[in-house]
Amino acid sequence: MYDVRLDGVSKAFGEVEAVRNVSLAVDAGNFLSLLGPSGCGKTTLLRMLAGFVRPGRGEVYIRNQMVNDVPPFRRNVGMVFQNYALFPHLTVAENVGYGLVARKISRPERERRVEEALSLVHLTNFDGRYPRQLSGGQQQRVALARAIVIRPAVLLLDEPLGSLDRKLRERMQVEVRQLQRTLGITTIFVTHDQEEALSMSDLVGVMNGGRLEQLGTPAEIYERPATTFVADFVGTSNRLDGTVVGLDGEESLVQVAGTRQHLRIPQRTGDAPGVPVSIMVRPEYVELTARGGPGDDAPLFGEVRFSAYLGASVRYEVELGEGASLVSLRPRGIDGGGYARGDRVGVRIAPECFYRLAGEPRNRAGAAAGVESDGAIPDSFANGPVGEAGSDEGGSGVGESRRSGGLVPRIGDEPA
């Protein structure tokens, strides 16, 4: 059963379309994070679920009931706001029990449920304190207890951890997720923090310009981004443009733009010499080897232009040629003493770590410059197959697939 379902929901404020034709469904007990940059529409979408904003078009369902015209206090949802919205003149217990008073729950039952909620958020002995006497993390727990004490069908969280320092934020991420699993409440969580969304969620919906770009598991979002925006926004991605220079069985041979270096990728319908392509790879999959050393058979090579020590890892930027470069993130010590600016290095990338984007490269002129395109296989070819990702062309192309976790929109899929 879906606890939350949106069908073609849109909302405009004047001439500004904040949310554009969003459809999604969330199974009971799942944790969905809405992730995106400021102004992408994620908070507006959350407020439509809460009932604070009415959709301009489309329908909102909570537990199979259409709630477009149902006021917030009758929707049986709990909400935690970014600023917590605690009443300064009420004690912790009075803040937590406020929703129960509004629902006319008897005093004995109210006191029992407030005590239970405070125990769940580890604030058992704080019931008589006021918000001003609490730390930021404690105030966040009070707001969470107030939201869950009414036993909502759906819990809505609007960037509730945004004002906390990093260590407290990370601890609260774990606590919120553990509490959600304990209670089994369907939860919608709004954030602009990528690590937060990936670490806490069963499903992540990435939004951009009011549209839902992709909805999937954290691993799908990170490893198989459906659009260029998702690949660029979630984590760091290396993008290489190039041009097909030959065909070899079920593979296409691609010359990397700005270089005379080559990669091998799976063929798609329409691949032919001269066709531009784009592929992407995450920095942690880019391995570096010393030129002239044991790894000198690496298919790509370049020069280290920048390195940054990050504690547990080192970040390198390697220039492959004019207009082509890669970022490599290597665990500290794995490459011996590391590499310095100006070092010549080989570049290895396991074939399964590539994913291919549909559409033409951003710099067609650069991709075409100096390309061997007679269909012959260049001698320098040594790399393996490349995985594929969905297209970001035609933003309204939304299909649906059923998987564990519910009905999941799949954006812009196309055949290989």
Q: For residue 348, how many other CB atoms are within 10 A of its CB? A: 18
- Say if CB 273 and CB 375 are below 8 A apart: yes
Residue, of 252 and 151, whose pLDDT is higher: 151
Q: How confident is the model at residue 240 (pLDDT cuts 50, 70, 90)?
A: confident
Residue 292 confidence (pLDDT)? 56
For the segment 118-138, the average pLDDT, to the nearest whole number, is 91
Residue 337 confidence (pLDDT)? 61
Q: 């929901």: which residue's tokens?
A: 9
pTM value is: 0.78
Residue 402 confidence (pLDDT)? 32
CA dist 164 and 360 (Å) reads: 42
> pLDDT > 90: what percent of the chain?
50
Nearest alpha carbon to residue 329 among 383, 390, 284: 284
Q: What is the pLDDT of residues 369-410, one digit of tens each?
A: 333 334 343 333 333 334 444 444 333 333 333 333 333 333
* Most trustworthy range by pLDDT among 20-34, 68-82, 134-148, 220-234: 20-34
Q: How confident is the model at residue 26 (pLDDT cuts 50, 70, 90)?
A: very high
Q: What is the pLDDT of residues 248-305, one digit of tens each?
A: 888 888 888 888 888 777 788 888 999 998 888 899 999 888 875 554 567 788 899 9
Residue 415 confidence (pLDDT)? 31
For the segment 139-148, the average pLDDT, to the nearest whole number, is 92
For the segment 124-143, the average pLDDT, to the nearest whole number, is 91
For the segment 95-120, the average pLDDT, to the nearest whole number, is 93
CA dist 4 and 50 (Å) reads: 11
CA dist 347 and 400 (Å) reads: 38
Tell me which amino acid residue 132 is: R
Residue, of 211 and 379, whose pLDDT is higher: 211
CA dist 21 and 163 (Å) reads: 31
- Say if CB 312 and CB 331 are below 8 A apart: yes
Q: Cα dihedral angle (178, 179, 180, 184), rounded to 10 degrees?
A: 110
Specify the DSSP element, H or E, that contains 242: strand 238-248
Please report how many Cα atoms fall inside a 13 Å half-sphere around the Cα of residue 285, on the Cβ side.
18
Mean pLDDT of the chain: 82
- Say if CB 40 and CB 213 are below 8 A apart: no
Residue 265 confidence (pLDDT)? 77
Q: Which domains does the chain have, with CATH numbers?
A: 2-232 (3.40.50.300), 236-388 (2.40.50.140)
- Say if CB 234 and CB 221 are below 8 A apart: yes
Three-state secondary structure call for residue 332: coil
For the segment 134-146, the average pLDDT, to the nearest whole number, is 90
For residue 103, the cross-strand partners are none
Tell me which amino acid residue 325 is: S
